[in-house]
Amino acid sequence: MDGFGDSQIMNTLVRMVVPMRREFGRSLDVQHFLRDATYADAVIAEALTSQDPRLRDYAIYVKSRLAGARGGVPPPAGAAPAGATAAEVDAKADALRAQVLKKYTGGLR
């Protein structure tokens, strides 16, 4: 898996931390998840039973990516668009960041 795919998985796992704690009282350890397949399977199985559709979508996405599926399931909302390279995503993120910073620095006296 490439670095961009790894960052998408990490981003999705971080997004799962709060919903897992709220609904199940489980503290999701992302590093442990990435190292221990048994722990990862248990977390995904629990997330798939969630009443929160976003958490279920995250679990489906992470499960498909860890299983090695390429492009079978679209990434969750907020992830990079299909076909975008890491450089394109970084360029767009930099442009948006500059736009936000301009709003705040342009109004200073």
The Cα–Cα gap between 74 and 46 comes to 21
pLDDT per position as a tens digit, 46-90: 999 999 999 999 999 999 888 764 445 555 555 555 556 667 777
| Helical segments of 25-74, H only | 30-35, 37-48, 53-66
Contact 47, 16 (CB under 8 A): yes
pTM of the predicted model, to two decimals?
0.58
| Structure-block tokens of residue 54 | 């976003």
Rounded (5°) CA angle 24-43-84: 115
The Cα–Cα gap between 99 and 92 comes to 11
pLDDT per position as a tens digit, 14-43: 999 999 999 999 899 999 998 898 999 999
